[in-house]
Copies of this chain bind each other. A is one copy, B any other.
Amino acid sequence: MAVGKNTTAFHQVAGVRLASVPCGIKPGRDDLVLLEFAEGSHTAGMFTRNLFAAAPVIVGKRHLQAASPRYFLINAGNANAGVGDLGIADALACCAALAALAGVDEAEVLPFSTGVIGERLPVGKIIAGLQGAMAGLDQDHWLQAAKGIMTTDTRPKLATRQAVISGKTIHITGMTKGAGMIQPNMATMLSYVATDLGAATATLQQCLAVAVNKSFNRITVDSDTSTNDSSMLTATGAAGLDVDADPAALEQFQELLNEVCLELAQGIVRDAEGATKFVAVTVRNGQTEEDCLAIAYAIANSPLMKTAIHASDANWGRIVMAVGKAGVTLDINALDIFLGDVQLMDAGQKSPEYTESQGAAVMAAEDITITIDLNAGSATETVWTCDLSQEYVRINADYRS
């Protein structure tokens, strides 16, 4: 199941080559992905805040401090998480093998893993796959790479933009994966965005933080935060534009990056485990961002709200319940609630014009918007989520993540 359409089109990014090969962790499909960045590229990264950060997250953060990455080595099917110091050693062994093959420093390789938690990484399989991956590197392999990093995802997720900034044609292309264990905290499951404009690492880090905070950090499938969340942004500089010294260009880049990250993050929700609906929950006119987010997440993570959405039931009693349990102090007599454009609640009372058939018409769509107006301030936040289906339970009872 997946909600809405999906793009498989992309712009190549000069200075970035990708490869996807099978190494036998997930039999019968590609499961090892390699990204190569031209010398002089800069990379920013954000990683999970789960205390049990996976070994590749620990190693990746360390390597990112030490050098500018030339390679990302990503495997699907095994998260290399929850195995203690052995996991660190395994991740380092993979980095070392690739570094030797590619003639770069070990710290110039960043490892990423996604899949089952708590099992040793099959290092032998990964190392055996490296030569084929190196040989397969190509600027045109974004779609193959986006497929190669999938786990319970049903489709590859890409987002892409081309623009002319300060007279130069630049490109931003990103891919992501993730379908369950999704309430990212500082990043998503795995996402990789690259651009051919140039920027210093510190600039990229700041741009990434802004973009992630309004995209990957605003989605939830099941309220669970992964041990492996990583969100990366790399700039190769191949387009001949450096944004560090060009504030107007930087601003345009930030806007495009925000769009790409939001499209990727929404792509995760649209392809979430068992999802049949895509839901935007907006809480507006709150006193603080925190108030708005607390209420939005209370709705977006409520199992009763999510099952009602699954049933296309305009069950506004459950919206009211979720608002009320969010722990936010508010005047319920100031509250307006809308389903799509239909007003359900007016100043804390059921809207006199509201009819069940109006609500049912909104809920029948695949894309649904729920808006809570607190009429208390000027903060507004939106969170994206999906429904909770029997299929979600089936997938996660059958699949060991």
Partner of A79, one of B84, B85, B302, B317: B317
Most buried by B among A53, A224, A350: A224
A152 to chain B, nearest CB (A): 11
Q: Of the listed stretches A29-37, A259-267, A376-384, A388-396, name the one at the interface; the rest are far from the partner chain.
A: A388-396
Check B388–A393 contact: CB distance below 8 A: yes
Q: Chain A 273-313 against B: per-residue CB contact (8 Å), 1 yes, 0 no?
A: 00000000000000000000000000001111001101101
A322 interfacial contact with B, CB 8 Å: yes
Complex Cα distance, B350 from A310, in Å, reads 38
A338 interfacial contact with B, CB 8 Å: no
Main secondary structure of the interface of A (DSSP, over half): loop
Given contacts A50-B325, A303-B224, A390-B393, whether A318 and B84 have CB atoms under 8 Å apart is no
Complex Cα distance, B349 from A153, in Å, reads 30
Check A397–B222 contact: CB distance below 8 A: no
Q: List B contacts of A301 (CB < 8 A).
A: 223
A254 interfacial contact with B, CB 8 Å: no
Given contacts A84-B348, A310-B397, A316-B118, whether A50 and B324 have CB atoms under 8 Å apart is yes
Q: List B contacts of A223 (CB < 8 A).
A: 301-303
Given contacts A304-B180, A304-B401, whether A324 and B51 have CB atoms under 8 Å apart is yes
Q: List B contacts of A323 (CB < 8 A).
A: 51-52
Q: Chain A 28-70 against B: per-residue CB contact (8 Å), 1 yes, 0 no?
A: 0000000000000000000000111100000000000000000
Q: List B contacts of A249 (CB < 8 A).
A: none
Given contacts A227-B320, A317-B117, A321-B52, whether A393 and B307 have CB atoms under 8 Å apart is yes
A400 interfacial contact with B, CB 8 Å: yes
Q: List B contacts of A394 (CB < 8 A).
A: 390
A181 interfacial contact with B, CB 8 Å: yes
Q: List B contacts of A401 (CB < 8 A).
A: 304, 315, 317-318
A257 to chain B, nearest CB (A): 27
Check B324–A52 contact: CB distance below 8 A: yes
A134 to chain B, nearest CB (A): 31
A58 to chain B, nearest CB (A): 12
A332 interfacial contact with B, CB 8 Å: yes
Check B79–A118 contact: CB distance below 8 A: no
Interface residues of A in 338-381 (CB under 8 A from B): 348-350
Q: List B contacts of A118 (CB < 8 A).
A: 315-317, 320, 350
A332 to chain B, nearest CB (A): 6
Complex Cα distance, B181 from A315, in Å, reads 14
Partner of A389, one of B225, B304, B318, B393: B393
Complex Cα distance, B320 from A83, in Å, reads 11
With A52-B321, A82-B317 known, 14 other A-B pairs at CB within 8 A are A52-B332, A82-B350, A118-B350, A180-B304, A223-B301, A224-B325, A225-B324, A303-B388, A303-B392, A304-B396, A307-B393, A315-B400, A318-B401, A393-B393
